[in-house]
Structure 1
Amino acid sequence: MGGKKREVARKRGGGNGSSRPQAKKQKIIGGPAASFSKSPFSNTRNKKLKKQQQRQADAVLPFTPHETILLVGEGDLSFGASLADHHGCTNLTATVLEKDLAELSGKYPHVADNIAKIDAADGCRLLYGVDARKMGPYTRKGVKGRVTTGMMDRIIFNFPHVGGKSTDVNRQVRYNQEMLVGFFARAALSLAPRGSIVVTLFEAEPYTLWNIRDLARHSGLAVERSFRFQPALYPGYRHARTLGVVRNKAGEVGGGWKGEDRPARSYVFVRKEDVPEPPAAGSKKPRPDDEDEDEDVPELPATSSKRPRPDDDDDDNDDDDDDVSDDASDGATSGGD
């Protein structure tokens, strides 16, 4: 009798000796196994979306519209035009190395539209013949007479480069270092209390060999932070080469690479006494992309066997030199303020 009861119990329990009915299997949605059934196209879209969201989160404008801004080595003035026309900057001084409109237009035939936008904006002006190593100190538009302290809240120098076609890496590095040392010294004279100097460079050799952090120390400046330069934040901006537009054999404008497509970083320099105190212990560490601890670097970089691309010798928007040949004695021009 007892055997029959056990047999009945086994049948009811699914043959496992238990009187409990066997649970019906459920399909798990969103569990660990679900990830294997995702479409590869869905993963790609998600990655692109996350990358776009990250770029938007990292977007930095190193100025506000009502600050007093000095732009150095403005090339074709597309950056200055964007600040005046799109961002509504009201205290803007844009400077170029070229001595007059004729010389500037010869290098950048499209510059007239950018000049018109700057001229049309209240409180904005354009100055010709300004050498970054000999400039200033500058005051706001409409201010007359000498001042005892600088008046520029932000001084911005995008993609400085002496120009030229030399492929001697060490020579190019030395010329550009000398130019930047001179620029920092002169820019400091125009800098307002608690103001900052912003310099943007490509994130590749030979620019990384310039050791820009160390160069600024000679003028009592230090890096406060750095951030990714995002051209999309400046509608109408186009990267312009030091020697002007690229022309083909027929003399037509066009071709060549686009500087806006290359990774670049902006460095924000302030007077050493204005550098914020280091964060307290236990505070959140910044992301690696925005981390900017000064490292010990030599005065001049070691010899590099890597030769930059020919475009790298003259691919910058703003500069101090029209040409650097093998006979040049330095990387400077005679242009002044």
Structure 2
Amino acid sequence: MGMKKKSLKKTLLASSAFQPKPKIAKKGGPVVAQSNAPKKLKNRNVRVPYSHDETMLLVGEGNFSFSNSLLSTIYVQAPENMTSTSYDSEEVVHEKYPDAKSHLTPLIESGVKVFHGVDARDLGKTKALKGKTFDVIVFNFPHVGLGIKDQDRNVMANQDLISGFFESALKFLKPSGEIHIALKNSVPYTLWNIKTLGANHGLSLRTKTPFVPETMYPLYAHRRTIGFDERLSTDDNEDLKRGAGDLVNCFTFAFWRKEYAQKQAESKQKKKKPAPTPKKDAEYQSDSE
């Protein structure tokens, strides 16, 4: 990609040895340091970080099962608030994902806006999106899918993908909106250093929520970028659990603009500031005669 060895080394150092370690936080709460090691999920009924009154743009959908899952659980009350897109053309989607039709049909019939051939790194090229802004923009398990064997170059290629997405998505994000990216909590994904990538685009991590398909997104069926391959692909989202057993192996990282986060923090601090204690009236004293 024409990058010098020095910049490659710098990127990899930033991606691994000095990688920040965010903690799961309540929506709007602070993020503090914590180990990145997988954790046991004590309560599998984790709150889904979405609401039907939020306008949502989903990019990089494969078989559209995530969109359909949200439609059946959250957006059933307001399907018009969802816009779901794929990078592939409609024809390629059906070729790569045999189950796509079963998910696309209810989306379209319900009034969800569906578009194909949408590049997450250049959303402005899609005419249907021009002039639109969203409360939430979601990109689940992004991957270039180029089969790059060299881990260093694989990391860089995917960092470029996510950086391009951040830059493009910000143009379609409301001032108070969030950008969500779901990733596995294992190498090489942890090497992408997503928190720093967000910071490079003026974003700060707001929350880190466990991604648990069986309880949060019941219709979701994970598919690789290359499509469904019987030799490589698995059913029941086993790809997301591989090597982790019952451990939390995936998270949704929610980012918002740093300046908005700062305003929220300042507003919260003002509300916490105690009112000044009124001074007691000076006691009236008189000399007794």
Task: Say yes or no: TM over 0.5.
Answer: yes
Tell me the distance in 2 between the aligned counterparts of 1:254 and 1:267: 24
Tell me the distance in 2 between the aligned counterparts of 1:52 and 1:77: 26
The correspondence for 1:131, drawn from 119, 123, 126, is: 119
Tell me the distance in 1 between the aligned counterparts of 2:236 and 2:135: 35
Matched to 2:182, the amino acid is T
Q: CA deviation at 1:185?
A: 0.5
Paired position in structure 2 for 1:93: 83
Say if 2:100 is the partner of 1:111.
yes
Matched to 2:161, the amino acid is M
Matched to 2:69, the amino acid is S
Q: CA deviation at 1:247?
A: 2.6
The correspondence for 1:199, drawn from 178, 181, 184, is: 181
Superposed CA deviations along residues 135-183 of structure 1, whole A, max 9, x for unmatched, are 13889x8x9xx64xx5200101100000122221100000000111110
User: Given the two structures, how large is their TM-score scaled by the length of structure 2?
Assistant: 0.69
Tell me the distance in 2 between the aligned counterparts of 1:254 and 1:65: 31
Matched to 1:273, the amino acid is E
Tell me the distance in 1 between the aligned counterparts of 2:166 and 2:260: 16
Superposed CA deviations along residues 223-265 of structure 1, whole A, max 9, x for unmatched, are 112111111211211111110001349xxx8679723435101
Pair 172,53 (structure 1): closer, same or farther in 2 beyond 3 Å? closer
Q: CA deviation at 1:55?
A: 2.6
Say if 2:52 is the partner of 1:65.
yes
The correspondence for 2:259, drawn from 266, 273, 278, is: 273
Say if 2:229 is the partner of 1:264.
no
Matched to 2:83, the amino acid is T
Paired position in structure 2 for 1:77: 64
Tell me the distance in 2 between the aligned counterparts of 1:202 and 1:220: 23
Q: CA deviation at 1:125?
A: 1.3
Tell me the distance in 2 between the aligned counterparts of 1:195 and 1:133: 18
Q: Secondary structure of 1:186's match?
A: helix
Paired position in structure 1 for 2:27: none
Paired position in structure 2 for 1:234: 217
The answer as to whether partners of 1:69 and 1:155 remain within 8 angstroms in 2 is yes
- Deviating above 4 A after TM superposition, structure 1's stretches of 4 or more consecutive aligned residues are 253-257
Q: Secondary structure of 1:224's match?
A: strand
The answer as to whether partners of 2:184 and 2:240 remain within 8 angstroms in 1 is no
Q: CA deviation at 1:103?
A: 0.9
Superposed CA deviations along residues 207-228 of structure 1, whole A, max 9, x for unmatched, are 0000101111222111112111
Tell me the distance in 2 between the aligned counterparts of 1:74 and 1:160: 9
User: Given the two structures, how large is their TM-score scaled by the length of structure 1?
Assistant: 0.59
Paired position in structure 2 for 1:208: 190
Paired position in structure 1 for 2:207: 225
The answer as to whether partners of 1:231 and 1:260 remain within 8 angstroms in 2 is no
The runs of 5 or more residues in structure 2 that have no matched partner are 1-39, 243-248, 273-289
Matched to 1:274, the amino acid is Y
Tell me the distance in 2 between the aligned counterparts of 1:256 and 1:231: 9
Superposed CA deviations along residues 45-98 of structure 1, whole A, max 9, x for unmatched, are xxxxxx776232xx1322101210000101110000111233214211111011
Pair 257,165 (structure 1): closer, same or farther in 2 beyond 3 Å? farther
Q: CA deviation at 1:118?
A: 0.6
Q: Secondary structure of 1:155's match?
A: strand
* Aligned-residue CA RMSD (Å): 2.7
The answer as to whether partners of 2:96 and 2:228 remain within 8 angstroms in 1 is yes
Paired position in structure 2 for 1:245: 228
Matched to 2:207, the amino acid is R
Matched to 1:246, the amino acid is D
The answer as to whether partners of 1:185 and 1:219 remain within 8 angstroms in 2 is yes
The answer as to whether partners of 2:221 and 2:237 remain within 8 angstroms in 1 is no
Pair 52,176 (structure 1): closer, same or farther in 2 beyond 3 Å? closer
The answer as to whether partners of 2:66 and 2:221 remain within 8 angstroms in 1 is yes
The answer as to whether partners of 1:247 and 1:255 remain within 8 angstroms in 2 is no
